[in-house]
Amino acid sequence: MAVAEPDPLGIAGWQRLVLAGGPAGRDDRARDRLVDFAMFAMAAGGGAYVLASTWGEHPGPFVAVDIALGVLACAALWLRRRHPVGVALLVVTLSAVSGLAAFAPLPAVFNAAIRASRRALVAIAALTVIATTTFALLYPDGPDGRGAGWQIMMGVLLTAVAIGWGLFVRAQRDLVRSLQERAQFAEADERLRITRAREGERRRIAGEMHDVLAHRLSLLALHAGALESYDDVLPKGLADAAGIVRVSAYTALEELGQVIGVLRESDDALAAPQPTLGHVPALVEESRATQMRVACRIDVAEAEAVPEMVGRTAYRVVQEGLTNVRKHAPGPSDVDLTIASDDGPRLTVELVSRPTVGAPGSSAQPPGVPGGGVGLIGLAERVALAGGRLEHGPAPGGAFMLRATLPWTP
């Protein structure tokens, strides 16, 4: 954590007061009131001095007019932030004929340099020079009797200082504003990066839950259902317990599908180790243990050269296909699984399931495991992410076909 360096002279506070360009704070309103009062006092005090110095050059009735115009010019300075151009034009115009308004243009021009457009600022500067020249011609003796030339020179010099100072404050404010925007953008970008990382991790976990837990729960439900079908030879309590396990597994699958939904995941979001093509035989053996007849043929030259993403996608296709057979087949099924490669080069995963004709115990088959119907949609997204194509649908003889074609380079 950074520690602010001490500022015994209070330079930062004076810089904030003079430049008025720092970020907004709780004391800004009090500071603005103090600055407004200082500007009004300076304009009124300086104008009073000029008026007193030129008093003898005023015809009798024009003294009252000068004072009225000066009061109007000084009072208008309180509105300079809200109407920078209008106040500057009014004050500069009045200063051309009023000695009391002679110093009011300085804060007005300074404020316009901060807030007005470039074109308006040029017009105000030109009008200020004209007003200064006009006042010097009307009152040639001026303060201390130094003449019109000295008045014009000092007026132009003070105007240049006011405009330069205002432009400096404007640049400083723009810099502070730019740094604030960059900091806010960096913070927003960091929050977005963290949010995306969290979302990606949640999707990765949810995807693996769907791929792994749905498969395991369907196996559990099928085993429990098979055990329940032998209620004539099992003790009554054991058959009832198997039914409870089966129903609980069905409910868990329904809730799992509702929570997870269809989620898309990127390859770099997957955490190692992940199952690949070499794990397919073990997956097939698990399905055979549930009395499912699975004929498996893997004809892949240089199977160890299959890319990790392609192998993982092939494994998920087989897993989803076997899970769907257990979940949705009306009875015992025969499954033909073929994984082959050609010179395309492509890897083809084909799974065809057919109802087993006259299989024993088919009438006692428990109802199909419910599902959200989104497994194949998510699987299609996974295959598409690997650059492949997924096909599925009915096949002749009441069969169901699932085929994935995945490109790969040996």
Report domain extents, the chain.
Answer: 26-190, 192-263+274-407
Residue 6 has φ and ψ, to the nearest 5°, of -65, 150
**Higher pLDDT pick, 361 / 69:** 69
Which residue is associated with the tokens 């099928």?
222
Structure tokens at 168: 């400096």
Mean pLDDT of the chain: 77
Question: What is residue 339's DSSP assignment?
Answer: E
Separation of alpha carbons 336 and 287, rounded Å = 12
Class of domain 192-263+274-407: alpha beta
Structure tokens at 37: 């009062």
pLDDT (tens digit per residue) in 227-255:
777 767 777 677 777 777 777 777 777 66
How far out from the chain centre does Cα 68 lie? 57
Q: What is the pTM of this model?
A: 0.44
What is the percentage of the chain residues whose pLDDT exceeds 90? 14
Indicate the pairing of strand 293-299 with strand 333-341.
parallel
Least confident of 24-28, 127-131, 154-158, 400-404: 24-28
Kindly tell me if the per-residue pLDDT of 54 is higher than 90: no
pLDDT-based confidence at 21, cuts 50/70/90? very low
pLDDT (tens digit per residue) in 169-186:
999 988 998 999 999 999
pLDDT (tens digit per residue) in 358-402:
554 444 344 444 444 556 777 887 788 778 899 988 888 778 899
pLDDT (tens digit per residue) in 267-306:
444 444 578 888 888 888 888 877 788 899 988 877 677 8
